[in-house]
A and B are shown apart, each in its own frame.
Chain A
Amino acid sequence: GEDVEQSLFLSVREGDSSVINCTYTDSSSTYLYWYKQEPGAGLQLLTYIFSNMDMKQDQRLTVLLNKKDKHLSLRIADTQTGDSAIYFCAESISNTGKLIFGQGTTLQVKP
């Protein structure tokens, strides 16, 4: 079945870059997503990437996709304390809008 794996925790210093990694199993996924969740809040769609792309950049966010290895990463440049949150990667199931989520990576940004 489908499975999405993430590392559980990442700690960086303010101003450094953060890289959050994710692996997925469903090779038919057309879209892969990154969401941010702050404590007690819902999910904020940060960015998504179409499976025929290798990279997508949006301001401080860079998404890299290695389709061969089924590996997705999110790089946050110049990480700020406000970036502290849980980050989920997710893959779509046959483009139904139904998503399978990873366990979430808690990003801790130290001043």
Chain B
Amino acid sequence: GAVVSQHPSWVICKSGTSVKIECRSLDFQATTMFWYRQFPKQSLMLMATSNEGSKATYEQGVEKDKFLINHASLTLSTLTVTSAHPEDSSFYICSAPRDGFEAFFGQGTRLTVV
């Protein structure tokens, strides 16, 4: 069964609104989680590293004020896309490493901004 759960699976929102995506590790604690973005027919690009109890680390070119990350507990990280615009439409997917190396991914969230 799934070891990382992501919610929602898909969301449609209006331009200018904010959307929150949750990522939960189900049967293990994850002090670190990762958020990726995937454009259609492309690979996954790492956006940021979510750290429990401290600030997230963002990859170069990713706007931290646009993509707010909160690692509220050892099993939950959230990504909030603020003031979403159509160009933010994408597939967002999180991962959590178990035992330090087994990287398990959530089901992904398809965001469409209209």
Q: Chain A residues with Cβ under 8 A from B32's Cβ?
A: 96-97
Interface residues on B, range: 20 to 34
- Cβ of A24 under 8 Å from chain B: no
In the bound complex, residues from chain A placing their C-beta under 8 Å from that of B101 are 30-31, 48, 92, 95, 97
The B interface is mostly helix, strand or loop, or mixed, namely strand
The residue of chain B having its C-beta at the shortest distance from the C-beta of A100 within the complex is B46
Give min CB distance, A101 to chain B, whole Å. Answer: 5
Q: List residues of B whose CB falls within 8 A of some A CB.
A: 6, 32, 34, 42-44, 46, 49, 93, 95-97, 100-108, 110
Interface size class of A (residues with CB under 8 A): 20 to 34
What are the interface flags for A14-35 relative to B under an 8 Å C-beta threshold, 1 for contact and 0 otherwise? 0000000000000000110101
* Bound CA–CA A86/B52 (angstroms): 32
Tell me, in angstroms, the Cα distance from A80 to B96 when the chains sit together. 30
* Total A-B contacts with CB atoms under 8 angstroms apart: 59
Complex Cα gap A71–B58 (Å):
29
Q: Identify 11 new A-B residue pairs, CB closer than 8 A, beyond the known A43-B105, A97-B101, A98-B49.
A: A31-B101, A33-B103, A43-B95, A88-B44, A96-B97, A97-B34, A97-B95, A97-B100, A98-B34, A99-B95, A101-B43
Residue of B nearest to A8 (CB): B41
**Bound state CA distance, A98 and B93, in angstroms?**
13
| Contact A103–B42 (Cβ < 8 Å) | yes
